[in-house]
Amino acid sequence: MEGETVSSGGGVGNGSQIEGNMVQTFQKNFVQVQTILDQNRVLINEINQNQESKMPHNLTRNVGLIRELNNNIRRVVDLYAHLSTSFTKSMEPSSEGDSSSSAAAAKPGHKRNRPPP
């Protein structure tokens, strides 16, 4: 499935390329998130071992490890925020369409009217 895109419009051309780029961006971000989460697992295990040892040097080392863990969590939050923003932008109607419906869709509490099937 790698490299494949699913096109909701069924068309070929620029839309497929945009969807392909979007899928690549999502995959890249998810790989980054998973890598950071794997690093966090290692950090947490080391922090726990240091805590159990109760050796002053290990407890002091935990300060730096916890800072690194907090920074990693911030990075994950930023990556998810970027993913959310990218996903939201990808779901917006193109600028060629009716701008009034996209403006109404962007406002909370407003429903978009859909044409009957």
Residue 80 contacts residue 69 (beta carbons within 8 Å): no
Q: For position 9, what pLDDT does the model report?
A: 45
**Average pLDDT of the chain, as a whole number:** 78
* d(C-alpha 10, C-alpha 24), whole Å: 19
Q: For position 94, what pLDDT does the model report?
A: 60
Per-residue model confidence as pLDDT tens digits over 33-90:
999 999 999 999 999 999 999 999 999 999 999 999 999 999 999 999 988 888 888 7
Instruction: Check pLDDT > 60 for residue 7.
Output: no
pTM over 0.95: no
**What is the C-alpha R_g of the chain?**
22
* d(C-alpha 112, C-alpha 101), whole Å: 7
Q: For the chain, what percent of residues have pLDDT higher than 90?
A: 47
Q: For position 104, what pLDDT does the model report?
A: 45
* d(C-alpha 6, C-alpha 105), whole Å: 24
As given in the structure block, the two tokens for residue 97 are 């369409």
Considering only residues 16 and 45, tell me which one the structure prediction assigns the higher pLDDT: 45
Confidence of residue 116 (pLDDT cuts 50, 70, 90): low
Cα dist. 93→20, 53, 69, 78, 88 in Å? 17, 57, 39, 25, 10
